[in-house]
Amino acid sequence: MTTFVIWCPSSIIHKLDKISDEESTISKKKQEKLLHPVVTTVLQQRRQAANRTEIKRAAEIIAKPKALTGLIYSLLVNMVLVTFLYFTMPDETSKFLRIVHGSFCVCALVISRIFGSIWFSDIANVAQRYTGVQVPNFKVTSDFCSSLCLDCLIFLQSLFVSSIPVPMLAEAFSLIHLALLNSLFSFEYVWMSFGIGSRARIDLIERHWPYFLGFGTILTILSTLTNSVVANALLFGAVFPLCIISSYLVKASDYNQRSYPYIHIFGPSLAAYDYLASVLFNFLKSLRRKRGTQVARMRVKVSSHQPT
């Protein structure tokens, strides 16, 4: 099973990340024709420009990143984190230890998201070149930090929902939250490449929740398929790259076909994020004000000690 889990996504990524010998020969022939043009009309120049674009795209595909290496690293990190969480899982009767273990889970999520964003970016770049998506320049760092904070809050919200004392209802709500969260993880790469902010991404999930619920349910079920936590983490790390590739093949018209009732399912997480952001902003503002006051006092002292 482990061999199949690693081979299946790696073969698909390798297929996307590879150009065949035939295509390489065709590209070389086109390049020779461009180097030795026969007709110099306006129409021929336009065709030459289009061919140059195709050849450049093919050359970028040939110079491929180490996407498979990132996949293997991601699987290893997931196994290490899950193994650590599994062996440090406390007794169910100890509430304090369960809270501490929950904080460890959040830290593991942050670590996994950071390393996953680095390694899965190669897979996202492969899908970008395959689909021809152009990546604009925007504030990636600030968007990633806000997205990471929102993801942690949504994960905590899903944990809180799963602790509802009604078994069937808790499982259903937990499945919905995790499915939408997995869809958000999968589509973040393509939406970030289009310059869509974190708030707008969550708004898309909430407005078209039936589509993204179905998209993320497959990954959620596969990652909870067995009773082994390590096997579930291995399945998630293997299937998640396929979801990233699938998100690049999805068109906006696929989930914009119908209008559904808007469900603000991530409202508590957004409210908590706004509160934390306002607290952090006020704290930094107060620090800046204190620093400005100290600098003003130092200037007054220096000016008073200067000889007249």
Q: What is the mean pLDDT of the segment spanning 88-99?
A: 57
Least confident of 219-223, 275-279, 291-295: 291-295
Average pLDDT score, the chain: 69
The pLDDT > 70 percentage for the chain reads 48
Residues 128-166 pLDDT 10s? 555 555 544 445 666 777 777 888 888 888 878 877 887
The closest alpha carbon to 109, from 146, 155, 176, belongs to 155
33's CB contacts (< 8 A; 6+ apart) are 51
Contact 206, 262 (CB under 8 A): yes
Question: What was the pLDDT predicted at 60?
Answer: 43
Structure tokens at 217: 């349910």
pLDDT in tens, 185-203: 888 878 877 778 888 888 8
| pLDDT number for residue 137 | 47
Output the pLDDT for position 158.
Answer: 82
Say whether pTM exceeds 0.75: no
Q: What is the mean pLDDT of residues 269-278?
A: 88
Instruction: Please spell the DSSP secondary structure of 74-103, one letter per residue.
Output: HHHHHHHHHHHHHHT---TT-HHHHHHHHH
Q: Mean pLDDT over residues 19-24, rounded?
A: 47
3 state SS of 176: helix
Tell me which residue of 70, 54, 65, 195 sits closest to 125, measured CA to CA.
Answer: 65
